[in-house]
Structure formats: structure tokens, C-alpha cells
């Protein structure tokens, strides 16, 4: 289980998060994808981006004062194992 930013895994330590999210707010939205997907599931297709000027759901919430965090996990693992991974990933 990892936090993702800019298409890559990022560490969840305070220094890294401060550097990557300098304008973070206390309002956080965590985006967890579904079975057999990745964090890209929260982004519109390239066609929708071109034709409708669509943006990621997290960008929409950022406009409302939320800090979006995208998480990638192994959807093949047991849900309890993913829960432990999520708790560790988001509690640093």
C-alpha cells in the first residue's frame, strides 16, 4: 500500500508530505480505488479531458479546500491485510 503523487510512489513521512503538499489543509480526501484498478480510476479519460475540460475528482475537491491523497493497494490481498497497510500508510 502506497501513497501516490505525480504517478509515483511517495513516502508517507512528514518531511516528504510537507514538501509534496505545501498547501495541505486539515480537510483530507483519501481516494482508494476499486478491485483490479489503480489510483488512475479517479481521473477522467483523455477524451473527456479534451472534449469537456474534465479534471480529476481530487482536483475538484481541492477547489473546495480539501487535500486529495491517492492510495494504491494490492486488490488481490485479503481486506484485513489491506486495512493494516492503509493504517500504516496514512498514520506516519
Q: Per-residue pLDDT for the chain (92 aa), expressed as one digit of tens each?
A: 888 898 899 988 889 999 999 999 999 999 888 777 788 777 767 777 777 776 778 888 888 999 999 988 887 888 888 788 777 777 65
Compute CA distances 26 → 42, 47, 61, 66, 74, whole Å.
21, 33, 13, 8, 27
- Quick check: 89 and 71 in contact, CB under 8 A? yes
In this prediction the pTM is 0.76
Amino acid at each position: 500500500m502506497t501513497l501516490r503523487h505525480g504517478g509515483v510512489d511517495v513516502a508517507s513521512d512528514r518531511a516528504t508530505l510537507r514538501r509534496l503538499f505545501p498547501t495541505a489543509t486539515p480537510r483530507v480526501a483519501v481516494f482508494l480505488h476499486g478491485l483490479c484498478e489503480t489510483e488512475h480510476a479517479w481521473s477522467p479519460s483523455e477524451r473527456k479531458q479534451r472534449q469537456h475540460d474534465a479534471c480529476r475528482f481530487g482536483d475538484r475537491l481541492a477547489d473546495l479546500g480539501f487535500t486529495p491523497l491517492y492510495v494504491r493497494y494490492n486488490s488481490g490481498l485479503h481486506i484485513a491485510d489491506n486495512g493494516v497497510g492503509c493504517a500504516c500508510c496514512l498514520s506516519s
